Amino acid sequence: MRSLDISGNTRIPILMELVGALSRAEDPQEVLRIFTRAMVRLNGPRGYVSLSTRGLRPGEYRITRMLSDEGEATIDSVDPWSSREAIPVHTGGFFGEIIRQAYPEVIHDLAIRDDPVVGNRLSDYRSLMAVPIFDNGEPLNWAIFLLNDPAPFTVQGLEETILRTNLVGGTVRKVLALRELREANRRIEREVEQISRIQRTLLPEKMPDVRGLTIAASYETFSQAGGDYYDFLPMRLREDGTPDPDGPWGILIADASGHGPAAAVVMAMLHAILHAYPSMPKGPAEVLEHTNRQLCAKRIESSCVTAFFAIYDPKSRELRYASAGHNPPLVKSPGSGGAVVRLDEVGSVPLGVMEETIYEEATVTLGKGQSLVLYTDGIVEASCPGGDMFGVAGLELALTACTGEPQCVIGSIADALRCHEADVKPSDDQTLVILRLDEEGTEGK
């Protein structure tokens, strides 16, 4: 076995540099600049003209580029991919005959003088090689090479150039497609960012003033726009229209299936339904049943919403709740090591699945210093590198280890999650809402 010595070949390094540069090019004009410079280095100075018949009638063409022997533009350079309509359309002349043939051509003893389109710009050139560049089976572009020598081009050179120019044409199309894809992605990202900003305005701007409660929330989306949602709705207003802190409050946490803009839209629908509730509800089950009917009527396709809705009375400390397929909230007793209990007495199918679903209610009275912990499944379904989920057990351990103060709860769960995930990117939105009953209770306030 014997390797051929190519160390003395001066063309191979130029070709290797060419293909490497083409693989990194991000703009069609950059592709052509790279190719033109490499051809000059490989074959010496030569003129170059590119034509395009894309989108034109038979016989019409645009001169998209005209370069001198040194690679300098000899006509006003306009980007033919972004400003095509700014380039004049021509018919006839020497190039009109070239495109009419629609076939590769080599011409020796060339004489282009007083041409109706290019005038005498090319009168110094004595030979020409014209190669069609195909796109989807049609010769929509032409590469034309010019030299001062009256007979330098050969059939072998034409064969190589047909392949070379069409491969470069394919690179241009790929780069153009990538550029269009990047621009489309940027537009989508801007729209998603706008959706995300709008979505966050639907969340409570600040925690409500509920007598005897300290409230905190953490809201982390998997993508820019998420499907998690939480809200607080006053059940009784003062004469001036402001919420009565001593009156009952509706407490909601919900999770629309899926991710991104689609889930955010469903979340916005849920917000609109709840905030347009027609009357004072008798209880949380009634709210879920009404919301379910509205979502089913809107035909949200394969989407659904899990939700936990409760009505809390500050005077009695009673929490009446109903669940539509949502994770059971947890009640944490005060102090590190305090017991954790699940509120899982009732539950039914998510919203938007079955129109006539009946939801049951349960009641619990919160004790002084206890914390109610609401969460979405992005918390308990968070995975570690091995694939194991954080689970309700992991949540309960994090709760047991903290004092029950809302910020302590959020911090303890966040630390436990990050440790569990070990740099694995979350695959779902993660939301926590913590409500802690003050240890001195509500008496006398």
Q: Is residue 194 part of a domain?
A: no
User: Which pLDDT value is given to residue 443?
Assistant: 46
pLDDT: which is higher, 295 or 201: 295
Q: Is residue 279 part of a domain?
A: yes
User: Which pLDDT value is given to residue 266?
Assistant: 87
Shared domain check, 430 and 400: yes
User: Which pLDDT value is given to residue 72?
Assistant: 65
Domain boundary among 181, 213, 245: 181
User: Which pLDDT value is given to residue 168?
Assistant: 80
Per-residue pLDDT tens digits for 94-120? 999 999 988 999 999 999 999 999 999
Shared domain check, 218 and 160: no
Domain boundary among 131, 146, 181: 181
Q: Is residue 391 part of a domain?
A: yes
Q: Identify the domain containing residue 61 by its residue range.
A: 11-181
Shared domain check, 87 and 56: yes
Shared domain check, 268 and 156: no
Nearest Cα residue to 321 out of 372, 361, 365, 370: 361
User: Which pLDDT value is given to residue 445?
Assistant: 39
Shared domain check, 211 and 347: yes
Lowest mean pLDDT segment, chosen from 81-85, 199-203, 342-346: 81-85
Q: Which tokens is 331 given?
A: 């009640």
Shared domain check, 177 and 238: no
**73 falls in which pLDDT band (50, 70, 90)?**
low
Q: Which tokens is 257 given?
A: 């299936």
pLDDT: which is higher, 326 or 151: 326
CB 47 within 8 A of CB 147: yes
Flag whether pLDDT at 444 surpasses 60.
no
Lowest mean pLDDT segment, chosen from 90-94, 159-163, 262-266: 262-266
Flag whether pLDDT at 201 surpasses 60.
yes
Q: Is residue 231 part of a domain?
A: yes
Per-residue pLDDT tens digits for 5-43? 888 888 889 889 988 888 888 877 788 778 778 877 887
Q: Is residue 4 part of a domain?
A: no
Dihedral sign for Cα atoms in the order 330, 283, 318, 276:
positive
**Side-by-side strand order, sheet with 90-91:** 90-91, 60-67, 47-52, 138-147, 127-135, 105-107
Shared domain check, 173 and 299: no
Per-residue pLDDT tens digits for 376-398? 999 999 988 888 999 999 999 99
Lowest mean pLDDT segment, chosen from 62-71, 88-97, 315-324, 395-404: 62-71
260-275 helix and 284-297 helix, angle to the nearest 10 degrees: 130
Shared domain check, 176 and 39: yes
Q: Is residue 122 part of a domain?
A: yes
**75 falls in which pLDDT band (50, 70, 90)?**
low
Mean pLDDT confidence for 409-433: 89
Shared domain check, 302 and 229: yes
Average pLDDT of the residues of the chain: 88
User: Which pLDDT value is given to residue 74?
Assistant: 62
Shared domain check, 133 and 38: yes
Most trustworthy range by pLDDT among 156-170, 287-301, 314-328: 314-328
Q: Is residue 191 part of a domain?
A: no
Shared domain check, 291 and 362: yes
Flag whether pLDDT at 355 surpasses 90.
no
User: Which pLDDT value is given to residue 94?
Assistant: 96
Burial degree of 3 (CB within 10 A; 0-12, 13-18, 19+): exposed
- CATH number of the domain bearing residue 400: 3.60.40.10
User: Which pLDDT value is given to residue 283?
Assistant: 93
Shared domain check, 213 and 170: no
Nearest 10 degrees: CA dihedral of 323, 325, 330, 331? 10
Specify the number of domains making up the chain: 2
Mean pLDDT confidence for 165-179: 81
pLDDT: which is higher, 77 or 60: 60
**68 falls in which pLDDT band (50, 70, 90)?**
confident
**3 falls in which pLDDT band (50, 70, 90)?**
confident
User: Which pLDDT value is given to residue 81?
Assistant: 66
Q: Is residue 209 part of a domain?
A: yes
- CATH number of the domain bearing residue 68: 3.30.450.40
